[in-house]
Structure 1
Amino acid sequence: MKAGNGLPMLLTKNLNKEFLKFVISGGINTLVTYLMYLLLLLFFNYSLSYSVSYAIGIFLSYYLNSVFVFKEKVSFIKFLKFPIVYLVQYLVNLLLLYILVEYLQLYVQIVPLVAMIITVPITFLLTKTIIKSK
């Protein structure tokens, strides 16, 4: 059997493809929600603008991940479960920020980037679990 053949290689190839699509959809979602935030700032204060753009981001993220990343049908039940991903991501990020600043004494300006590198795979797995659930 040649190297690179078989089930493990197929799983890795599909996982990498899904993960790349996940990162792309996350970039699109971030751009759209940020632009929406800037647009809303023309009419509303920053907290309302952020809240509305964040909610729109949850809808957009669910749609992009369902249709583009995991090629699953959109489901109302799965959509209701989807905000759990954002809650877990927020809590893990908060914990990581605390550890990185207080114990590892990293600069507060860079810790969100470090936390994001750690939480993107976690977010990917949670999103995949919810969207691909039956």
Structure 2
Amino acid sequence: MNLRTSLPTILRFLAGGALNTGSTFVLYWLLLLVVEFRVAYAISFVAGILLSYVINTKFVFRTDHSLRKIILFPLVYLASYLAGAVVLDLSVSRFGVDARIAPFISICATLPLTYLLSKLVLAGGRSPLRRN
């Protein structure tokens, strides 16, 4: 991976992730006005995966939608969740990191994995299409 050619895609990935995170938090908070927190979390989590799929397909990797991609994309989140859970557990249990801070370590540790798996699923590992 050439950092110079990948940097714009990585920056779009980070911006898209920030937009997705902010959007799902807002949706969660709005849903809390009408449903209990477990339902709000479930709905906002699924909506976050769908929004991430759209953002990563069109904005980050600039590729087309397909049934195969939309079916495989949630597996990216499953792998990221499992890796993040391991990092979280190790951070708190083994290294004594405060449990309130440990999720930030988990996020930072899983970002590269999420990026690479998203790129593999959505762009087949190729560089995104150039748009002028």
- Report the counterpart of residue 78 of structure 2 in structure 1: 87
Aligned pair 1:52/2:43, yes or no? yes
Aligned pair 1:64/2:58, yes or no? no
| Match of residue 3, structure 2, among 5, 12, 15 | 12
Could you state the TM-score of these two structures normalised by the residue count of structure 1?
Answer: 0.89
Runs of 4+ in 1 over 6 A off after TM superposition: none
The amino acid that maps onto 1:58 is I
The amino acid that maps onto 2:119 is K
| 3-state SS of paired residue (1:82) | helix
* Structure 2 residue ranges without an equivalent (≥5): 126-132
The amino acid that maps onto 2:101 is I
1:1-47 deviation line (CA, Å, top 9, x unaligned)? xxxxxxx8xx3222111111000000000111111111111111101
- Report the counterpart of residue 90 of structure 2 in structure 1: 99
% identical aligned pairs? 33
* Structure 1 residue ranges without an equivalent (≥5): 1-7
- Report the counterpart of residue 12 of structure 2 in structure 1: 21
Looking at structure 2, the residues matched to 87 and 104 of structure 1 have their Cα atoms a distance apart, in angstroms, of 24
- Report the counterpart of residue 110 of structure 2 in structure 1: 119
Q: Which has the larger radius of gyration?
A: 1
Looking at structure 1, the residues matched to 70 and 39 of structure 2 have their Cα atoms a distance apart, in angstroms, of 23
